[in-house]
Structure 1
Amino acid sequence: MRPLFLLSVLSLACLSSLAHADEQTRTVAAFNAIDIRGPISIEVESGKEQSLLLRGDQKFLSGVITEVVNGELKISMKDKDIKKTEGDPRIIITMPTLRKLIAEGAGEKILTKLNGPRVDISYKGAGRLAADGQVDWLRLKAQGVGEVDTKALLAKNVDVNFEGIGSVKVYSSGELNAVVRGMGELTYYGKPKIVHKSVAGIGSVNAAK
């Protein structure tokens, strides 16, 4: 009976979560950059027509502010505390090309199919950021205690500046310029032809094994 009871409880929990999940599509001006502040999870997929979808309970949907300023989508929360929202609230974005991402706060940031000559990513928080795709040049700045995994983002040249106690993974096949401050660990993939590295503190910059 115990396994059946646990299964029933899990099923009810899943149904309860789904029951509270609503979706809201927003229409905004064209943008190629994103600036997100707050504990908000986002998924961004490049190479598609622009769309902006919010998924979560009504408290989350009504609390998210979105506006486009000079080609940059700015996302923030009216109420800085969204811990009481139900389920797994997040923002799902599709766009032709992501040129720049600025993200501050906890939550998950997932970037897929990035493309173009260059992408700039600035991440400060305690969550997780992951990216894939192919670009000529990645400029990455990471601060905090989270995890940044861009090893699936195939970049020719990479400039990375990492300050914190988490971990960062990048891919470079050309030139890698890496600066690490603090206790963080930076691992690089792709066997770059040129590597310049600077470490201050007890952090590290190492090739993947």
Structure 2
Amino acid sequence: MQRLILAAILSCASLNAHADEQVRSVTPFKGINVHGPVSLTVEAGKAYSLKVIGDPRFIDRVTSEVVNGELRLHMKDSSRNSIESSDRIVVTLPELQTFRGEGAGVMRLNKLRGERLDVNYRGAGRLAIDGEVRELRLRAQGVGEVDTKDLVTQEADVSFEGIGSVSVHAKDKLNAKVQGMGNLTYYGNPRIVNKSVSGIGSVVAVK
């Protein structure tokens, strides 16, 4: 039994030894553009920071630069579609105004606050957003899942094309357009709902 426990400890230590962390310097930005199969977490905070965590080969593949107020995160070898569970990118900034994501990873935007958020997402992964903004503009394509039901908004303008699923939360007004086989679910009991469905998709309210 002791040998098994020791083997397990050594195995975990070996795995952790390969999970490096690289802190990269960044100039201020209000937008994020990420492309590739990555696990991304964005947190609201007082300072700007960027951490790339995981296998050294993954860290080397991640390119990052700030251009015109937008943090751009890309992968050097876009043909590689798999990542290890420990490979991830963590970004912190005071306020996020625009987000563009494309890929097959899991992307989380946590505790966002602001006047308006513009989101463009295309892929086969999962995007989850929580927090509170007055206005959300969301454009989604693909077979993935976009979960923004925990992002409380007054107004949401949503366009979805694909076979995945999208959920939003609007208190006052919702403009919803669905093309294809996808499903859009909305929360918040908005006073005004304008919806358009082309295909066999749906726009459904949840009390």
Q: TM-score range by the shorter chain?
A: over 0.9
The CA distance in 2 between the partners of 1:81 and 1:11, in whole Å, is 34
Q: Which deviates more, 180-189 or 86-95?
A: 86-95
Match of 2:132 in 1: 134
Cα shift at 1:5:
10
Q: Does the alignment pair 1:43 with 2:50? A: no
The CA distance in 1 between the partners of 2:140 and 2:6, in whole Å, is 42
Secondary structure, aligned partner of 1:30:
coil
Match of 1:150 in 2: 148
CA contact (8 A) 1:17 1:86 kept: no
The CA distance in 1 between the partners of 2:186 and 2:75, in whole Å, is 35
1:79-158 aligned at under 5 Å gives the runs 79-83=77-81, 86-158=84-156
TM (norm. structure 2) is 0.93
The CA distance in 2 between the partners of 1:179 and 1:11, in whole Å, is 52
The CA distance in 2 between the partners of 1:83 and 1:166, in whole Å, is 19
The CA distance in 1 between the partners of 2:135 and 2:179, in whole Å, is 22
Match of 1:198 in 2: 196
| Root-mean-square deviation over aligned CA pairs | 2.1
TM (norm. structure 1) is 0.92
**Unaligned ranges ≥5, structure 1:** none
**Unaligned ranges ≥5, structure 2:** none
The CA distance in 1 between the partners of 2:153 and 2:4, in whole Å, is 46
For residue 167 of structure 1, the aligned residue among 165, 182, 207 is 165
Match of 2:72 in 1: 74
The CA distance in 2 between the partners of 1:139 and 1:81, in whole Å, is 30
Secondary structure, aligned partner of 2:28:
coil
Q: Does the alignment pair 1:186 with 2:184? A: yes
Query: In structure 1, what residue type is equivalent to 2:166?
Result: V
Aligned-residue sequence identity (percent) comes to 54
CA spacing shift, 1:83–1:4, aligned 2, 3 Å: farther
Between Structure 1 and Structure 2, how many residues are aligned? 207
The CA distance in 2 between the partners of 1:41 and 1:57, in whole Å, is 13
CA contact (8 A) 1:121 1:140 kept: yes
The CA distance in 2 between the partners of 1:190 and 1:7, in whole Å, is 50
Cα shift at 1:19:
2.3
CA contact (8 A) 2:81 2:104 kept: no
**1:49-93: CA deviations, max 9, x gaps?**
111000011101111110010000011011124456544211101
Secondary structure, aligned partner of 1:174:
strand
